[in-house]
């Protein structure tokens, strides 16, 4: 196991979204969750937020693929 490896990161992809600047409401919506309290009632996901998620996932996929093909790691 890698020293920097955190098994809980697999279960909690929301932590990774914060580093991409993705709003909490967009992450929760994508995962099928709702935010607690008033922010869950009055917040909604916009098309721009969805595009931001898609772009972040595409970058993550491209980076992982490049690393796999070049046999490099983080």
The answer to whether residue 17 is domain-embedded is no
In total, how many domains does the chain have?
1
The answer to whether residue 14 is domain-embedded is no
φ and ψ at 24, to 5 degrees? Answer: -55, -40
Residue 11 has a pLDDT of 54
The answer to whether residue 28 is domain-embedded is yes
The answer to whether residue 10 is domain-embedded is no
Side-chain-side CA neighbours of residue 44 (13 Å): 3
The span from the CA of 29 to the CA of 46, in Å, is 11
Give the residue, 49 or 13, on which the prediction is more confident: 49
Q: Is the pLDDT of residue 47 over 90?
A: yes
The answer to whether residue 13 is domain-embedded is no
Mean confidence (pLDDT) of the chain = 78
The answer to whether residue 47 is domain-embedded is yes
The answer to whether residue 18 is domain-embedded is no
Residue 50 has a pLDDT of 92
The span from the CA of 9 to the CA of 14, in Å, is 9
Rg (CA), the chain: 15
Range of the structural domain that residue 30 is part of:
23-70
């Amino acid at each position: 196991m890698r020293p920097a490896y955190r098994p809980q990161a697999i279960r909690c992809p929301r932590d990774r979204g914060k580093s991409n600047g993705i709003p909490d409401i967009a992450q929760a919506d994508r995962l099928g969750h709702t935010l607690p309290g008033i922010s869950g009632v009055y917040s909604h996901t916009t098309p721009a937020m969805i595009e931001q998620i898609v772009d972040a996932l595409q970058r993550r996929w491209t980076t992982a693929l490049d690393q796999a093909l070049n046999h490099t790691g983080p």
